[in-house]
Amino acid sequence: MRIPLTLNQLEAFVHVADQGSFTKAAQILNISQPALSRAIRAAEKAVGARLFDRDTRNLRTTSAGQELLTIARRILAEFEFSLGDLAQFLMGRRGRVVVATVPSIGAAYLPTAIAAFAKTNPAVEFSIRAINTEPLLDMVASGEADFGISQQPPPDDRFHYEHLVIDEFVLLCATGHALTASQRCKWSDFKNYPFILQSSSTSIRALTASVFQKLDLAVPTFHECSSLFLSGKLIAAGLGITALPRLALPQLDMTGVEIRKLRNPVLSRRLGIVRRRGRTLSKAAADFLELFKAHVRSLEPNKI
Indicate whether 111 pLDDT > 90. Answer: yes
Q: Which run of H or of E encompasses 257?
A: strand 257-263
For the cut 70, the answer to whether the pLDDT of residue 27 exceeds it is yes
Q: What is the mean pLDDT of residues 91-109?
A: 85
Does residue 86 have a pLDDT over 80?
no
Judge whether 140 and 100 are in contact, CB under 8 Å.
yes
Q: How confident is the model at residue 201 (pLDDT cuts 50, 70, 90)?
A: confident
Rounded CA separation 286/98 (Å): 11
Structural domains of the chain, with CATH = 7-90 (1.10.10.10), 95-164+270-298 (3.40.190.10), 167-268 (3.40.190.10)
Q: What share of the chain is helix, strand, coil (3-state, %, to 5)?
A: 45, 25, 30
For 56-74, what is the mean pLDDT? 86
pLDDT at 5: 85
pLDDT at 297 > cutoff 50: yes
pLDDT over 60 (residue 80): yes
Burial of residue 109 (CB within 10 Å: 0-12, 13-18, 19+) is buried
For residues 187 and 265, the answer to whether their CB atoms sit within 8 Å is: yes
237 pLDDT above the threshold of 50: yes
Query: What letter represents residue 172's amino acid?
Result: L
Q: Which position has the higher pLDDT, 144 or 298?
A: 144
Rounded Cα distance, 289 and 92, in Å:
12
Residue of 174, 148, 171, 169 whose CA lies nearest to 159: 148
**Least trusted range by pLDDT, from 20-34, 51-65, 250-264:** 51-65
**Which pLDDT value is given to residue 10?**
84
The span from the CA of 123 to the CA of 57, in Å, is 51
Strands 159-174 and 268-276: antiparallel
Tell me the pLDDT band of 302, cut-offs 50, 70 and 90.
very low
46-58 pLDDT, tens digit per residue, is 888 899 988 767 8
Residue 243 has pLDDT above 80, yes or no: yes
User: With bands split at pLDDT 50, 70 and 90, how would you rate the model's confidence at 107?
Assistant: confident
Q: Average the pLDDT over 77-86 and give the result.
A: 75
